[in-house]
Structure formats: C-alpha cells, structure tokens
Amino acid sequence: MSVSLPLAGAVDLQLGKRLAEQGDASRGLTPCSECHGANGGGSEEVGAPRLAAMGEAYLARQIDNYKDGNRRHPIMQPWADALTADEVQAVAAYYASLPPASNAIVPNDIDPKPGKWLALYGDWAGRRLPACIQCHGPLGVGVGEYFPALAGQPYNYLVGQLAAWTTGSRKGDPLGMMSAMNRHLSAKESRSVAAFYASIPEKKAVQVAAEIERGALQPDPAKATPPTDELGQMATKGSAHTGPLAHQGEIPSGRPQAEAELFEPPLRGTAPDDDFGELVKLGEAIYQHTYSHPVSGKYVGNTQVCEGCHLDAGRLAGAAPMWAAWVSYPAYRGKNKKVNSMTERLQGCFKYSMNAQASKVGAPPSAESRTIHALLSYMYWMATGAPTGDKTMPGRGFPKIAETKQGFDPARGKRVYAEKCAICHGDAGEGAWAEGEGGEKELVFPPLWGPQSYNWGAGMHKINTAAMFIKANMPLGNFIELSDQDAWDVAAYINSHERPQDPRFNGDLAETTQRFHKSQFDYYGKRTGPDGKLLGEAAPMPTASAK
C-alpha cells in the first residue's frame, strides 16, 4: 500500500520553496503562503491547514487527492492539476522540512473537554469509536503516510474536514476509515474535537505527547463523566450500529451485540484520588505503554503493549477485557498445567506476548514489582462490581469463530493483509510509530511478526486465537467487517512468519514442537518459512538486553 517516493535528498527543496512563497504567475498559481501562512501554520480565516512539519508523503498524497477528485476545493483543485509530479514532491518536501508552526485560534465558546475525551479515549463501549490518538499518534502528532498530525491544525480547517468526511465530499482515506469513524460523531462533538486539537500548540505537541506517554496527562476527575449529554444519549441509544457498521452490512458476528447486557467498568479517569488511585493510573499507563514505560519497559523484550490485544486499555468486551479476567483467577491453565494466580497469569503475558527474556531484566516482573502491583490494582479497579468467580461474563475473552469449509491459507491471507492490514501494521508486519520527544519512537500500531512481535509461546501465535481476535476486533473500530474466511486466512498469514523463539524451546525443534505445538492451528516446527527453514528454526533464543 505504500507509495514509492523519491528520497528527500533527491527532491528540489528550492523549487518547493519558490512555489510555496511565490507561486507561479505564468500558470496562475498563487503562492501557498497566501492561504497557509508564511510559516506554514495554516489560517483560520480561510480554513487552510497547517503544512509546516507535516509528513512529506501525506502532503504529496493530498495534492494527488485534489488531482483525483477525492478532495474538492476551488483553489486547491486547479493548483494541484497544474503541478507536475516533481513539483508536487518538491512542495511537499519543502513544507515537511519547515519547523512546526500553528496559526490556529482556539474558539472560546466551544468546550474542548468532550473532544479531549474522544481524542484520548474514544467511545468504545458506546459506539466502538477508537480514540483519535490510536491512529494519529500521541496527541495527534501524526503516524506514517496515512495518519496526519492533528495538533495545531486550525479549528476551522478541522471542523470543515470532519464535515467533509461525513458528507462524502472528501474521500481517499484508506478503506474509508475516516468517513466511517466520523459518522459516529455528532456535529457538536466534531466541533469539540476540533477545538481540542486546535488548542495543542504544534511546537509543543511532541512534548505534550511525551507527557501523556508517561501517564502524566490524566483527565481531571471532574471530566470523568461522559463528555456531553449528547454523547451519553448516543451511547445509551446504541447509535453505535446505525452508522458505518449498518452501512457496511452486518455487525461483526464475532463480537457481543447486546451491549446493554455487558458489564460496565468504571468510567475512565474516575480512579480515586489517593494512593490506590495512583497505582490504578500507573497500571493504566503501563497497560497502554508497556514496552516504553519507565516502570514496566525493562521487562519487555519487544515493542508490544498490553493494549495491543486488549483494546481500550483492557476494557473492551470481546477483546479479552480485564474485568472479566480479574474475576476468573486463580484458575487452572493447561499451558503450564497448574493453578495460576493472577500474578502468574500476568507474568505469563510478559514471558510470551512481551518476550521478557529479551528485555533488560531478562525475565517477567516479580510478584513484588511495582509493575505487577499496578496491573493488579488496575484490573481490580476495572472489575468493580463484577461477581467473583463468574466465568460466563458476556464479552469475556475473544468470541469464538467457526471453522470454514476452505480452512485457512496464508497465500489468501497475504492478499487480505495487503489490502486491509498493511496500512496500519506495515507491509512487513513491522507496525508503526509516531515520533517521540528526542526522536525516539512511540508505538502506535504493534508489530505482528519479526523480532519485535510476540514470541512463539504467546497465545496469539495460534491461528485460531488470532482469527478470533481479528474477526471481532480488526480493523480497529470495525469500520469494515472481515469475513470469517478473511479472518482465518490473514491470521494464518501473520502467523506463518518467523518470530522470537518460544522460551520453552529446549534446543530440539521437533521435540519442542511435539511438546507444545501439536495443534493444527500452530505452524511452529511444521510450516516452512520464507527462508526455507521450518518456522521456529530460525527464531533466535532471546537473550537479555537484546532489546
């Protein structure tokens, strides 16, 4: 899905600068700066976006969108039509090279709080609406080629674009995801989201993003009610499924439909303001930033986060929610043939899904660690009111998926992946990151195979488990529905790649396969990978600090 761009070095930045600042009178092209500002920070007056420090590929794609008619604008459309491909690249590269700037003016009559809530948390339970930050990165600093920065965009531009997605006058978003998402939002909410993002100074976005990554930017308890009455009503009315899902057809069959019957964990941000609440908040931050969080990162040997599989920070029904897990332990697990306490269960996540063996510590967090205590407290708090021992809570685990007549096939799955998954998870399953402060990367979409993914012992390496998860939860927000067959096939494709070694590997692939990987839904030690070796054969044994 990626477009091939000339390397930045080969682009004529001077050409871009000239077009931006002077236009080309011979072709009737006004300078970009006339609408987008001399600093590239956009304009409230004409509703023009900021371009400065936006992604080069994203900017070039937008000019192409005007050429293609996916976007409409009386000035931009003829402008785009006039440019050559080289000029498009030059202008895009020029603006991408500018320092961050924003000419946004925050309207003082719009309450940004509901928008902030939706931006940070979304509204999963009510509308299956992912948070904006889940694709646009921490506080909207932008991710990859497809997800532009939102921080510091002029309010009027954002309001206009949100409306354009809804009416269909703007197109060109991969798989129609923005138009689908946006149909979930009321006009009032759109204004609030726009006001929130306009309020974030672009030059501070990275810093603010870093703050939220560290769990410092927590919502006020005062904001911890559903952001607006309107939002609350929509959620109550179950309008979630009158939008894109109804539009696309069925609600994904895999996930719970009777949301009214689902357990409701406490609202986000309502943890008490005391020592226990502090630990709950830490647990939530760890849940979302497991590998990069200063408290938990040293136990993580890849770049995964708990939230990667347990969506909405462990709250989402059908994505193995933590409130249902909490009341299910201690419990016997066939995996290690004993009764596991919740602490042991969590340590298992680190051992397999987080590949702790390759972490700085080289092992999962101890029962005494702050990481375990924070996660236990967070889970316990999320389960407030859940009946102890109830293993039948609707939404528990991943919903079952029926086997299909055709079985599963990685070759078919490869096509599904390229069409519907690669946009976020990358062509090579490498995941996607947003830039963080100091240039380090912050995970946005988790890697699905390779050294930074879950290892061969993780539950997700099993094709049936992955198929269940994918069917019920992918793509994020279910703005399109995968067929059962697609879910099986793409799960098979993902899990036909090499990944970190099973920590139970004893040096003998056949024996390890026999002991732990006999399932028909498991390619370890059976299927040959792209390098001609059996899967598991080329998987490196993790060593501490290899991260």
Binding site for a copy of itself (CB under 8 A): 274-276, 279, 323, 326-327, 329-332, 338-339, 341, 343, 366-368, 372-373, 376-377, 380-381, 383-390
User: 26 vs 388, which CB is nearer to a copy of itself?
Assistant: 388
CB 221, min distance to a copy of itself, A: 17
**CA 138 to CA 197: how far, in whole Å?**
12
**Exposed e or buried b per residue across 425-457, where buried means at least 16 C-beta atoms within 10 angstroms of its C-beta:** bbeebbbbbbbbeeeeebbbbbbbbbbbbbbbb
User: 125 vs 376, which CB is nearer to a copy of itself?
Assistant: 376
CB 269, min distance to a copy of itself, A: 17
**CA 143 to CA 433: how far, in whole Å?**
6
* Of the candidates 435, 437, 432, 412, the residue with the CA atom closest to the CA atom of residue 422: 432
Q: Tokens 């994505």 label which residue?
A: 319
* Of the candidates 394, 431, 426, 408, the residue with the CA atom closest to the CA atom of residue 484: 408
Alpha helix segments (H runs only) across 437-533: 463-473, 484-494, 509-516
Collect all residues with Cβ–Cβ distance below 8 Å to 394 and sequence separation of at least 6: 256, 258, 261, 262, 263, 317
**CA 547 to CA 272: how far, in whole Å?**
35
User: 10 vs 331, which CB is nearer to a copy of itself?
Assistant: 331
User: 238 vs 394, which CB is nearer to a copy of itself?
Assistant: 394
CA 320 to chain centre: 17
CB 456, min distance to a copy of itself, A: 25
Q: Which of 44-49's residues contact partners 24+ apart within 8 Å by CB, and which partners? A: 44/103, 44/104, 44/105, 44/154, 44/155, 44/156, 44/157, 47/154, 47/156, 47/157, 47/160, 48/154, 48/157, 49/153, 49/154, 49/157, 49/161
User: 395 vs 477, which CB is nearer to a copy of itself?
Assistant: 395
Residues 429, 434, 439, 440: is their CA dihedral positive or negative? negative
Collect all residues with Cβ–Cβ distance below 8 Å to 228 and sequence separation of at least 6: 111, 114, 188, 189, 192
DSSP for 69-80, please give it: TSS--TTHHHHH
Contact 194, 158 (CB under 8 A): yes
CB 369, min distance to a copy of itself, A: 10
User: 95 vs 381, which CB is nearer to a copy of itself?
Assistant: 381
User: 292 vs 343, which CB is nearer to a copy of itself?
Assistant: 343
CB 278, min distance to a copy of itself, A: 8
Cα distance from N-terminal residue to C-terminal residue, the chain: 29
CB 4, min distance to a copy of itself, A: 52
CB 262, min distance to a copy of itself, A: 15
Contact 287, 281 (CB under 8 A): no
User: 381 vs 493, which CB is nearer to a copy of itself?
Assistant: 381
CB 368, min distance to a copy of itself, A: 7
CB 372, min distance to a copy of itself, A: 8
Contact 115, 189 (CB under 8 A): yes
CB 390, min distance to a copy of itself, A: 7
Collect all residues with Cβ–Cβ distance below 8 Å to 433 and sequence separation of at least 6: 143, 441, 442, 443, 444
Residues 487, 488, 490, 491: is their CA dihedral positive or negative? positive
User: 90 vs 372, which CB is nearer to a copy of itself?
Assistant: 372
CB 343, min distance to a copy of itself, A: 6
CB 385, min distance to a copy of itself, A: 5
User: 45 vs 390, which CB is nearer to a copy of itself?
Assistant: 390
SS3 43: strand
Contact 500, 455 (CB under 8 A): yes
User: 182 vs 377, which CB is nearer to a copy of itself?
Assistant: 377
Q: Tokens 């685990």 label which residue?
A: 397
CB 284, min distance to a copy of itself, A: 14
* Of the candidates 197, 145, 196, 134, the residue with the CA atom closest to the CA atom of residue 172: 145
User: 34 vs 278, which CB is nearer to a copy of itself?
Assistant: 278
User: 365 vs 525, which CB is nearer to a copy of itself?
Assistant: 365
Contact 200, 155 (CB under 8 A): no
